[in-house]
Amino acid sequence: MANNRNKEKGKQGAGGMSRGAKLAVIIGCSAVGAMLAIFVAFGVYVSGRDTVFPNVTVDGIDVSGMSYDVAHNTLLNSDLATTQEIRATVELTGDVSLTVTDRDAGLAYSVNGAADAAWQVGRDGNFITNTLSFFKCLLSGHDVVTDAQFDETGVREMIAQAALTADHGEIDSGYEITDTQVVLTKGTAGYTVDQDAVYDYIYNTLTSGVSGETDQFSEAVTSEHGGDSVDIQAIYDQIYVEPQNSIYDKETQAPTQEVTGVSFDVQAAQREYDAASPGEEIAIDLTITEPEVTAAALEEMLFRDQLSSKMTTMYSSSSNRVNNITLAAAAINGTILNPGEEFSFNGVVGERTTAKGYKPAGAYVSGETVDQVGGGICQVSSTLYYCTLKANLEVTDRRNHMYSVSYLPLGFDATVNWGTIDYKFKNNQDYPIKIVAYVQDRELYVEIWGTKVDDTYVELQYSTVDTIGYEVIEEIDESLAPGETKVKTSGHGGYVVDSYLLLYDGDGELINRTYLARDTYRSQNRVILVAPPVEEPEEGEETGGETETGTETGTETGGEAGTDGQGGESSGTEGEAGTETGNTGGETGAGGDSGQGEQTETGTDTETAQDSENVQPAA
């Protein structure tokens, strides 16, 4: 039995636990259980708290034990909330900008964020970690630091969104021409934002907030390309067309095609273009100017009306003089002047030479009568001058003769001389004119044809300002027998006259009286050729017969001047209404150039027959 007890003791010693040990285990487990129960109970307490954990601060500001609202108000009234905001503003284009604050970039907490961070201490984990965090706060505290990292991703996203608005391609400037308008397109430059440069600027500005400046601005960081403007003046120069009337083409002998004018207001177009928005179209109305004279109208009205006509005679002229006048008349016959063109007698007739058929005829040179090639042609230029006035055309160059002429009234002649004196006039009317000139039965006819646009007509008038007397002188002619005399020069008086153009309307009412010129015509002495004086006979010799010599002086005035009218008369048919013209006359120099002109003609046709009364109509 003793052995059996020993065996049982041995078993207990080898694998069993003493009562003390068991008690210790029980006590330990109980303690652990109690602590676990306390931890769980404390964790439940912690989880149910509605205040910030103990010893929690935000940047040193104590918010422990405070409810969320109290902690929020505490932070709102602290230095944390009064920190000045830092801004970075970038001008991307003229009308697009981007502003980023330090808070946008994650560099500053808001009060709400700071209160949230303090409140979340011990509340953002599980039961165990939250409970441990409580104990940690309780033992060592917890400070919430507001320092933040720059949010590169967020800032770059903001820049990219702004660039979508600022970036755009260029719009080319241009224009289109229609029948009635010029349509302009206002171009604009293209823009591309350098996003890296914008980011660098924003980062540098916001991270240097210690400068204390509240607003930071940059210059544009956007590249510009294209967008040239329209040159409106160049467009105008391209499309401008001056209106042109149809005129008579002397080569084709037909009217030319009229041209319609095209233009627009350059300054007004520029103002509209400048005020337009990029890409906008601006319609500029063209100014269309129709010509006053079309080809169809000119064809119908061409040389329709006789504007004036005049006939002068050469009944007593030599055959050579008639020949010269006939050639000069043929030279100007058929001459056509378009509006604005000038006629030159010397230019049309040319130099008077024997090769052209001109012959020597009487002309005055230095007061003497001599034969010169082309003598007598001044009757053509003078008759044309008279018709020019009656047709109301513009005379640009004219001189009167040295001596008065018989075939036209005083003040209405026009001398010419090759190389020195010309007769010129201009077509100042709206339609072409044509000269018709010819000789028939020793009568010179000159007509001007054109297109009358009204019922006005012209009368011509001259006023004798002064008369100049002449002397009768004798010259000895050895060929004459005693007592025989001969008239060498008939002689005539001189005159100073003023000429006028009177314009009337169709009812005969005077519209205006225009002064043309003051002309001076020299007098010419009457020269009588006499025989030499008879020698006295010696004493005792008879004398047979007697001679008579002597001188006399006097003045001579001829017959009356003709009467101007609209119809025909014995000296020819007068033309219709015309315009004023003229330049001051005055006496012309004596002599011609190689016989190419004359100062006045000789013979019966050159004798004066002028009225000495003060004012006379010019027939």
Concatenating the DSSP letter of every residue in 55-123 gives: TEEETTEE-TT--HHHHHHHHHTSTTTTPPP-EEEEE-SSS-EEEEETTTTT-S--HHHHHHHHHHTTT
Asked if the structure places residue 265 within a domain, the reply is: no
- The pLDDT, as a whole number, for residue 151 is 83
pLDDT reported for residue 147: 59
What the block records as the tokens of 244 is 């042109």
d(CA 580, CA 573): 20
Q: Is 186 helix (H, G, I), strand (E, B) or coil?
A: coil
Secondary element (H or E) of residue 319:
helix 319-332
Sheet of strand 181-185, all strands in order from the earlier edge strand to the far edge: 174-177, 181-185, 281-285
**H/E run at residue 130:** helix 127-140
CA angle 155, 160, 165 (to 5 degrees): 130
What are the tokens at 359? 């012959």
Single out the residue in 166, 189, 209 at which a domain terminates.
166
Torsion 204-207-212-217 (CA) sign: positive
Which element (helix H / strand E) includes 19?
helix 19-47
DSSP 241: B
DSSP class of residue 541 equals P
Using CA of residue 426, residue 437, residue 317, residue 554, what is the dihedral sign? Answer: negative
CA distance 490 to 467: 17
**575 located within any domain:** yes
Position 359 in a domain: yes
Per the structure, how many domains does the chain have?
A: 2
Q: Which of 125, 146, 166 marks a domain boundary?
A: 166
pLDDT score for 227: 57
Q: Is position 27 within any domain?
A: no
Q: CB neighbours of 220 closer than 8 A, spacing ≥ 6?
A: 91, 92, 93
Q: Which residue has the tokens 């303090």?
A: 118
Q: What is the pLDDT of residue 128?
A: 79
- Cα 90 to Cα 96, 135, 200, 208, 329, distances in angstroms: 9, 50, 11, 16, 90
By residue range, what is the domain housing residue 136?
38-166
Residues 6+ apart with CB under 8 A from 4: none
Structure tokens at 183: 């349509």
Say if 342 falls within a structural domain.
yes
DSSP letter assigned to residue 478: T
Q: Is residue 181 part of a domain?
A: no
**In angstroms, rounded to a whole number, what is the distance separating the alpha carbons of residues 515 and 493?**
24
Instruction: Tell me the CA distances in angstroms from 192 to 124, 224, 228, 511, 552, one per residue in order.
Output: 46, 7, 17, 76, 112
Q: Are 595 and 419 in contact (CB under 8 A)?
A: no
pLDDT, one tens digit per residue, over 549-583 is: 333 333 333 333 333 433 333 333 333 333 333 33
- Answer whether residue 96 is part of any domain: yes
Q: Which residues contact 267 (CB under 8 A, 6 or more apart)?
A: none
Q: Which residue has the tokens 């006379």?
A: 616
Q: Is residue 479 part of a domain?
A: yes
Domain C-terminal end among 166, 194, 213? 166
- Is 477 within 8 Å of 530 (Cβ atoms)? yes
**Residue ranges of the chain whose pLDDT lies below 70:** 1-17, 41-43, 48, 79-84, 93-95, 107-111, 146-149, 166-171, 189-191, 209-228, 366-367, 537-619
Minimal CA–CA distance to 562: which of 380, 373, 313? 313
